[in-house]
Protein backbone atom coordinates (compact mmCIF):
# COMPACT_ATOMS: atom_id res chain seq x y z
CA UNK A 1 0.00 0.00 0.00
CA UNK A 2 1.42 3.40 -1.01
CA UNK A 3 2.03 5.76 1.87
CA UNK A 4 0.16 9.06 1.91
CA UNK A 5 2.53 11.94 1.29
CA UNK A 6 2.42 15.13 3.30
CA UNK A 7 1.42 18.13 1.22
CA UNK A 8 4.36 20.50 0.73
CA UNK A 9 4.61 22.77 3.75
CA UNK A 10 5.48 26.14 2.25
CA UNK A 11 5.60 27.73 5.70
CA UNK A 12 8.45 25.51 6.88
CA UNK A 13 10.25 25.82 3.53
CA UNK A 14 10.08 29.61 3.89
CA UNK A 15 11.14 29.45 7.54
CA UNK A 16 14.18 27.36 6.66
CA UNK A 17 15.12 29.76 3.85
CA UNK A 18 14.83 32.87 6.02
CA UNK A 19 16.85 31.29 8.82
CA UNK A 20 19.52 30.54 6.22
CA UNK A 21 19.48 34.16 5.02
CA UNK A 22 19.78 35.41 8.58
CA UNK A 23 23.14 33.64 8.65
CA UNK A 24 24.35 36.23 6.12
CA UNK A 25 23.10 39.04 8.35
CA UNK A 26 24.77 37.51 11.41
CA UNK A 27 28.14 36.97 9.73
CA UNK A 28 28.03 40.41 8.11
CA UNK A 29 27.34 42.08 11.46
CA UNK A 30 29.92 40.11 13.47
CA UNK A 31 32.87 41.92 11.85
CA UNK A 32 31.49 45.26 13.04
CA UNK A 33 30.56 44.19 16.57
CA UNK A 34 32.38 45.23 19.73
CA UNK A 35 32.29 41.89 21.54
CA UNK A 36 32.95 39.49 18.67
CA UNK A 37 33.72 36.42 20.77
CA UNK A 38 35.40 33.78 18.60
CA UNK A 39 34.82 35.71 15.36
CA UNK A 40 38.30 36.05 13.79
CA UNK A 41 38.02 39.52 12.22
CA UNK A 42 36.98 42.90 13.62
CA UNK A 43 37.17 46.19 11.70
CA UNK A 44 39.14 48.61 13.92
CA UNK A 45 37.63 51.61 12.11
CA UNK A 46 33.98 50.63 12.43
CA UNK A 47 32.40 48.99 15.47
CA UNK A 48 28.91 49.38 16.89
CA UNK A 49 27.15 47.83 19.87
CA UNK A 50 23.98 47.66 17.75
CA UNK A 51 25.64 44.94 15.70
CA UNK A 52 26.29 42.95 18.89
CA UNK A 53 22.54 43.17 19.50
CA UNK A 54 21.77 41.90 15.98
CA UNK A 55 24.26 39.02 16.26
CA UNK A 56 22.98 38.00 19.69
CA UNK A 57 19.34 38.18 18.67
CA UNK A 58 19.74 36.04 15.55
CA UNK A 59 22.01 33.59 17.32
CA UNK A 60 19.43 33.06 20.08
CA UNK A 61 16.92 31.27 17.84
CA UNK A 62 18.41 30.55 14.41
CA UNK A 63 20.15 27.22 14.99
CA UNK A 64 17.46 25.74 17.29
CA UNK A 65 14.89 26.44 14.57
CA UNK A 66 17.21 24.93 11.97
CA UNK A 67 17.52 21.66 13.89
CA UNK A 68 13.79 21.56 14.63
CA UNK A 69 12.99 21.85 10.91
CA UNK A 70 15.71 19.33 10.04
CA UNK A 71 14.15 16.86 12.47
CA UNK A 72 10.69 17.42 10.98
CA UNK A 73 11.80 16.79 7.39
CA UNK A 74 14.07 13.92 8.44
CA UNK A 75 11.10 12.23 10.09
CA UNK A 76 8.99 12.84 6.99
CA UNK A 77 11.57 11.08 4.83
CA UNK A 78 11.90 8.21 7.29
CA UNK A 79 8.19 7.46 7.60
CA UNK A 80 6.78 8.54 4.22
CA UNK A 81 9.54 7.17 2.02
CA UNK A 82 11.45 4.29 3.62
CA UNK A 83 14.28 4.30 6.16
CA UNK A 84 16.68 3.20 3.39
CA UNK A 85 15.60 6.01 1.06
CA UNK A 86 15.88 8.46 3.92
CA UNK A 87 19.44 7.32 4.66
CA UNK A 88 20.40 7.53 0.96
CA UNK A 89 18.88 11.01 0.78
CA UNK A 90 20.82 12.25 3.83
CA UNK A 91 24.06 10.81 2.46
CA UNK A 92 23.64 12.49 -0.94
CA UNK A 93 22.20 15.78 0.36
CA UNK A 94 24.18 16.23 3.59
CA UNK A 95 27.23 13.96 3.85
CA UNK A 96 28.58 14.46 0.32
CA UNK A 97 28.09 18.28 0.28
CA UNK A 98 29.71 18.48 3.72
CA UNK A 99 32.81 16.58 2.59
CA UNK A 100 33.13 18.28 -0.81
CA UNK A 101 32.62 21.85 0.40
CA UNK A 102 34.74 21.40 3.51
CA UNK A 103 37.68 20.46 1.28
CA UNK A 104 36.97 23.24 -1.24
CA UNK A 105 36.20 26.01 1.24
CA UNK A 106 38.94 25.41 3.82
CA UNK A 107 41.81 27.00 1.81
CA UNK A 108 39.44 29.75 0.63
CA UNK A 109 38.53 30.51 4.26
CA UNK A 110 42.20 30.70 5.22
CA UNK A 111 42.87 33.02 2.30
CA UNK A 112 39.93 35.41 2.75
CA UNK A 113 39.87 35.68 6.53
CA UNK A 114 43.68 35.67 6.72
CA UNK A 115 43.90 38.50 4.21
CA UNK A 116 41.29 40.61 6.00
CA UNK A 117 42.90 39.97 9.37
CA UNK A 118 46.24 41.21 7.99
CA UNK A 119 44.60 44.29 6.46
CA UNK A 120 42.90 45.13 9.76
CA UNK A 121 46.26 44.70 11.54
CA UNK A 122 47.83 47.29 9.23
CA UNK A 123 50.07 44.91 7.27
CA UNK A 124 52.03 46.44 4.37
CA UNK A 125 51.73 43.24 2.31
CA UNK A 126 48.69 41.28 3.53
CA UNK A 127 48.55 39.09 0.42
CA UNK A 128 52.13 37.86 0.91
CA UNK A 129 51.39 37.11 4.55
CA UNK A 130 48.34 35.02 3.80
CA UNK A 131 49.95 33.17 0.87
CA UNK A 132 52.81 32.12 3.17
CA UNK A 133 50.28 30.02 5.09
CA UNK A 134 50.14 27.63 2.13
CA UNK A 135 53.88 26.95 2.11
CA UNK A 136 53.06 23.65 3.77
CA UNK A 137 50.75 21.12 2.06
CA UNK A 138 49.23 20.38 5.47
CA UNK A 139 47.61 23.83 5.36
CA UNK A 140 45.08 22.41 2.90
CA UNK A 141 43.86 19.82 5.42
CA UNK A 142 40.79 21.12 7.30
CA UNK A 143 41.44 21.52 11.02
CA UNK A 144 37.82 22.14 11.92
CA UNK A 145 34.40 22.20 10.28
CA UNK A 146 34.15 26.01 9.85
CA UNK A 147 30.50 27.08 9.34
CA UNK A 148 29.68 23.58 8.07
CA UNK A 149 29.52 22.41 11.69
CA UNK A 150 25.73 22.42 11.30
CA UNK A 151 25.96 19.68 8.64
CA UNK A 152 28.50 17.78 10.76
CA UNK A 153 26.24 17.75 13.81
CA UNK A 154 23.21 17.05 11.62
CA UNK A 155 24.92 13.89 10.32
CA UNK A 156 25.68 12.64 13.84
CA UNK A 157 22.24 13.52 15.22
CA UNK A 158 20.49 11.92 12.24
CA UNK A 159 22.41 8.67 12.81
CA UNK A 160 21.43 8.65 16.50
CA UNK A 161 17.79 9.42 15.75
CA UNK A 162 17.49 6.75 13.05
CA UNK A 163 18.93 4.16 15.44
CA UNK A 164 16.37 5.19 18.07
CA UNK A 165 13.54 5.14 15.50
CA UNK A 166 14.48 1.58 14.47
CA UNK A 167 14.40 0.52 18.10
CA UNK A 168 11.03 2.19 18.67
CA UNK A 169 9.54 0.25 15.76
CA UNK A 170 9.89 -2.80 17.97
CA UNK A 171 7.67 -1.17 20.62
CA UNK A 172 4.65 0.25 18.77
CA UNK A 173 2.60 0.75 21.96
CA UNK A 174 5.36 2.75 23.62
CA UNK A 175 5.85 4.82 20.46
CA UNK A 176 2.12 5.51 20.23
CA UNK A 177 1.99 6.60 23.88
CA UNK A 178 5.00 8.90 23.47
CA UNK A 179 3.39 10.61 20.47
CA UNK A 180 0.10 10.91 22.36
CA UNK A 181 1.77 12.62 25.33
CA UNK A 182 3.89 14.80 23.04
CA UNK A 183 0.83 15.93 21.10
CA UNK A 184 -1.01 16.77 24.31
CA UNK A 185 1.87 18.92 25.53
CA UNK A 186 2.76 20.75 22.35
CA UNK A 187 -0.70 21.71 21.11
CA UNK A 188 -1.33 24.01 24.08
CA UNK A 189 0.82 27.20 24.28
CA UNK A 190 0.92 27.22 28.09
CA UNK A 191 1.84 23.55 28.39
CA UNK A 192 4.55 23.75 25.72
CA UNK A 193 6.12 26.85 27.29
CA UNK A 194 6.01 25.15 30.67
CA UNK A 195 7.58 21.86 29.59
CA UNK A 196 10.05 22.30 26.72
CA UNK A 197 12.13 25.12 28.26
CA UNK A 198 12.55 22.82 31.28
CA UNK A 199 14.58 20.44 29.11
CA UNK A 200 17.04 23.18 28.15
CA UNK A 201 17.16 24.59 31.68
CA UNK A 202 18.03 21.12 33.02
CA UNK A 203 20.90 20.89 30.50
CA UNK A 204 22.13 24.34 31.49
CA UNK A 205 21.89 23.54 35.19
CA UNK A 206 23.74 20.23 34.97
CA UNK A 207 26.41 21.74 32.69
CA UNK A 208 26.66 24.98 34.71
CA UNK A 209 26.33 27.16 31.59
CA UNK A 210 23.89 29.88 30.52
CA UNK A 211 24.14 29.37 26.76
CA UNK A 212 25.46 26.86 24.25
CA UNK A 213 28.41 27.94 22.14
CA UNK A 214 29.01 27.22 18.46
CA UNK A 215 30.94 23.97 18.08
CA UNK A 216 32.98 24.01 14.83
CA UNK A 217 35.47 21.30 15.82
CA UNK A 218 35.61 17.68 14.69
CA UNK A 219 35.74 16.62 18.33
CA UNK A 220 32.09 16.66 19.36
CA UNK A 221 31.04 18.97 22.16
CA UNK A 222 28.67 16.77 24.23
CA UNK A 223 26.67 19.74 25.54
CA UNK A 224 26.15 21.16 22.05
CA UNK A 225 25.27 17.69 20.76
CA UNK A 226 22.60 17.15 23.42
CA UNK A 227 21.27 20.70 23.01
CA UNK A 228 20.70 20.43 19.26
CA UNK A 229 19.61 16.81 19.52
CA UNK A 230 16.69 17.98 21.70
CA UNK A 231 15.44 20.34 18.98
CA UNK A 232 15.95 17.75 16.24
CA UNK A 233 14.05 15.15 18.24
CA UNK A 234 11.18 17.56 18.94
CA UNK A 235 11.02 18.26 15.19
CA UNK A 236 11.03 14.51 14.51
CA UNK A 237 8.11 13.96 16.88
CA UNK A 238 6.36 17.04 15.53
CA UNK A 239 6.08 15.43 12.11
CA UNK A 240 4.31 12.46 13.71
CA UNK A 241 1.94 15.02 15.26
CA UNK A 242 1.81 17.39 12.28
CA UNK A 243 -1.92 17.93 12.64
CA UNK A 244 -1.12 20.17 15.64
CA UNK A 245 0.97 22.60 13.54
CA UNK A 246 -1.95 25.05 13.18
CA UNK A 247 -2.02 25.33 16.99
CA UNK A 248 1.33 27.14 16.74
CA UNK A 249 -0.64 30.15 15.51
CA UNK A 250 -2.18 30.37 18.97
CA UNK A 251 -0.19 32.96 20.91
CA UNK A 252 2.45 33.16 18.16
CA UNK A 253 2.78 36.93 18.49
CA UNK A 254 2.83 36.65 22.29
CA UNK A 255 5.60 34.08 22.14
CA UNK A 256 7.63 36.29 19.80
CA UNK A 257 7.14 39.28 22.13
CA UNK A 258 8.07 37.22 25.19
CA UNK A 259 11.21 35.96 23.45
CA UNK A 260 12.16 39.51 22.43
CA UNK A 261 11.60 40.83 25.95
CA UNK A 262 13.66 38.06 27.50
CA UNK A 263 16.46 38.63 24.99
CA UNK A 264 16.56 42.35 25.74
CA UNK A 265 16.71 41.55 29.45
CA UNK A 266 19.57 39.08 29.06
CA UNK A 267 21.45 41.33 26.62
CA UNK A 268 21.42 44.52 28.68
CA UNK A 269 21.37 43.07 32.21
CA UNK A 270 23.51 39.92 31.82
CA UNK A 271 26.21 41.20 34.20
CA UNK A 272 23.64 41.99 36.89
CA UNK A 273 21.88 38.61 36.86
CA UNK A 274 22.94 35.44 38.62
CA UNK A 275 23.46 32.16 36.75
CA UNK A 276 20.12 30.54 37.65
CA UNK A 277 17.99 33.47 36.43
CA UNK A 278 20.10 33.62 33.24
CA UNK A 279 19.56 29.90 32.68
CA UNK A 280 15.80 30.31 33.09
CA UNK A 281 15.67 33.38 30.87
CA UNK A 282 17.76 31.73 28.14
CA UNK A 283 15.75 28.49 28.12
CA UNK A 284 12.38 30.26 28.02
CA UNK A 285 13.63 32.81 25.48
CA UNK A 286 14.79 30.14 23.01
CA UNK A 287 11.55 28.19 23.06
CA UNK A 288 9.43 31.36 22.97
CA UNK A 289 11.23 32.35 19.79
CA UNK A 290 10.99 28.84 18.32
CA UNK A 291 7.24 28.57 18.89
CA UNK A 292 6.53 32.21 18.10
CA UNK A 293 8.52 32.48 14.85
CA UNK A 294 7.36 29.06 13.62
CA UNK A 295 3.76 30.04 14.38
CA UNK A 296 4.11 33.33 12.50
CA UNK A 297 5.41 31.53 9.43
CA UNK A 298 2.55 29.04 9.61
CA UNK A 299 0.13 31.96 9.92
CA UNK A 300 1.53 34.15 7.14
CA UNK A 301 3.68 31.86 4.98
CA UNK A 302 1.54 28.82 4.26
CA UNK A 303 0.63 29.83 0.71
CA UNK A 304 2.87 29.19 -2.27
CA UNK A 305 5.15 32.06 -3.24
CA UNK A 306 7.48 31.85 -6.22
CA UNK A 307 9.93 34.28 -4.60
CA UNK A 308 10.09 32.35 -1.33
CA UNK A 309 10.40 29.05 -3.20
CA UNK A 310 13.28 30.49 -5.21
CA UNK A 311 15.02 31.70 -2.03
CA UNK A 312 14.39 28.31 -0.45
CA UNK A 313 15.95 26.51 -3.42
CA UNK A 314 18.94 28.87 -3.37
CA UNK A 315 19.43 28.82 0.40
CA UNK A 316 21.63 25.70 0.52
CA UNK A 317 24.10 27.18 -1.96
CA UNK A 318 24.00 30.54 -0.16
CA UNK A 319 24.69 28.84 3.18
CA UNK A 320 27.65 26.92 1.79
CA UNK A 321 29.49 29.72 -0.04
CA UNK A 322 28.63 32.96 1.76
CA UNK A 323 31.25 32.91 4.53
CA UNK A 324 34.40 33.55 2.44
CA UNK A 325 32.60 36.56 0.96
CA UNK A 326 31.72 37.98 4.37
CA UNK A 327 35.39 37.39 5.20
CA UNK A 328 36.99 39.25 2.28
CA UNK A 329 34.56 42.11 1.56
CA UNK A 330 35.26 43.94 4.88
CA UNK A 331 38.92 44.30 3.84
CA UNK A 332 37.91 45.83 0.51
CA UNK A 333 35.66 48.46 2.13
CA UNK A 334 37.75 49.13 5.24
CA UNK A 335 38.75 52.66 4.19
CA UNK A 336 35.19 53.81 3.50
CA UNK A 337 34.29 56.51 6.01
CA UNK A 338 30.80 55.28 6.79
CA UNK A 339 29.24 54.02 10.06
CA UNK A 340 29.62 50.39 11.10
CA UNK A 341 25.94 49.62 10.47
CA UNK A 342 26.23 50.86 6.86
CA UNK A 343 29.34 48.74 6.32
CA UNK A 344 27.43 45.76 7.69
CA UNK A 345 24.57 46.41 5.25
CA UNK A 346 27.05 46.80 2.38
CA UNK A 347 28.75 43.47 3.17
CA UNK A 348 25.34 41.81 3.40
CA UNK A 349 24.11 43.33 0.12
CA UNK A 350 27.24 42.46 -1.89
CA UNK A 351 27.40 38.93 -0.44
CA UNK A 352 23.71 38.32 -1.16
CA UNK A 353 24.05 39.62 -4.73
CA UNK A 354 27.07 37.43 -5.50
CA UNK A 355 25.49 34.35 -3.92
CA UNK A 356 22.21 34.66 -5.82
CA UNK A 357 23.80 35.58 -9.16
CA UNK A 358 26.15 32.59 -8.97
CA UNK A 359 23.24 30.38 -7.92
CA UNK A 360 21.07 31.53 -10.82
CA UNK A 361 23.70 31.16 -13.55
CA UNK A 362 26.05 28.44 -12.29
CA UNK A 363 24.03 26.27 -9.90
CA UNK A 364 20.27 26.25 -10.49
CA UNK A 365 20.34 24.63 -13.93
CA UNK A 366 23.60 22.70 -13.62
CA UNK A 367 24.95 19.52 -12.07
CA UNK A 368 25.82 21.55 -8.94
CA UNK A 369 22.14 22.25 -8.36
CA UNK A 370 21.33 18.57 -8.80
CA UNK A 371 24.13 17.68 -6.38
CA UNK A 372 22.80 20.02 -3.69
CA UNK A 373 19.03 19.97 -4.20
CA UNK A 374 18.48 16.64 -5.90
CA UNK A 375 17.36 18.20 -9.19
CA UNK A 376 18.03 20.88 -11.80
CA UNK A 377 15.49 23.57 -12.73
pLDDT tens for the 377 residues of the chain, in order: 445 566 678 899 999 999 999 999 999 999 999 987 789 999 999 999 999 999 999 999 999 999 999 999 999 999 998 899 999 999 999 999 999 999 999 999 999 999 999 999 999 999 999 999 888 889 899 999 999 999 999 999 999 999 999 999 889 899 999 999 999 999 999 999 999 999 999 999 999 999 998 888 899 999 999 999 999 999 999 999 999 999 999 999 999 999 999 999 999 998 899 999 999 999 999 999 999 999 999 999 988 889 999 999 999 999 999 999 999 999 999 999 999 999 999 999 999 999 999 999 999 999 999 999 988 77
* pLDDT at residue 1, as a whole number: 41
The greatest distance separating any two alpha carbons of the chain, rounded to the nearest whole angstrom, comes to 70
* pLDDT at residue 38, as a whole number: 83
What does each C-alpha distance from 255 to 27, 82, 176 come to in angstroms?
A: 26, 36, 29
User: The pTM is what?
Assistant: 0.94
Terminal-to-terminal C-alpha distance of the chain: 31
Cβ neighbours around 277 below 10 Å, total: 14
Angle value at C-alpha 325, between 322 and 331, nearest 5 degrees: 155
The CA distance from 140 to 105, in Å, is: 10
Helix/strand/coil for 38: coil
Q: What single-letter DSSP state applies at residue 8?
A: P
The secondary structure of the chain in percent helix, strand, coil, rounded to multiples of 5, reads 80, 0, 20
The CA distance from 142 to 47, in Å, is: 30
Dihedral of CA 10/13/15/21: which sign? negative
* pLDDT at residue 154, as a whole number: 97
* pLDDT at residue 58, as a whole number: 96
**8 A C-beta contact, residue 253 and residue 292:** yes
The CA distance from 158 to 229, in Å, is: 9
**8 A C-beta contact, residue 289 and residue 61:** yes
Q: Which residues contact 320 (CB under 8 A, 6 or more apart)?
A: 97, 101, 105, 148, 372
What does each C-alpha distance from 200 to 43, 45, 102, 207 come to in angstroms?
A: 35, 39, 30, 11
* pLDDT at residue 260, as a whole number: 97
Amino acid sequence: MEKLKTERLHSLDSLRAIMMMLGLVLHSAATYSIDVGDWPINDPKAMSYSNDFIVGLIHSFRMPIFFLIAGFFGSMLFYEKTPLKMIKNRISRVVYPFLVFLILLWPLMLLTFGYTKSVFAGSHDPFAEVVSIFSSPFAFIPRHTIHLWFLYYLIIITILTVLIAFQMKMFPRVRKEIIKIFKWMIQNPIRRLAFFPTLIFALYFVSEITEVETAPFFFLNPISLIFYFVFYLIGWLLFKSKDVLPSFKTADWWCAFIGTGLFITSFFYRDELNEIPLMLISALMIWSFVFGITGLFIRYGSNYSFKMRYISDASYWVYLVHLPLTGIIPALIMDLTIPASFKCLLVFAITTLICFVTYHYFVRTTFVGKFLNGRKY
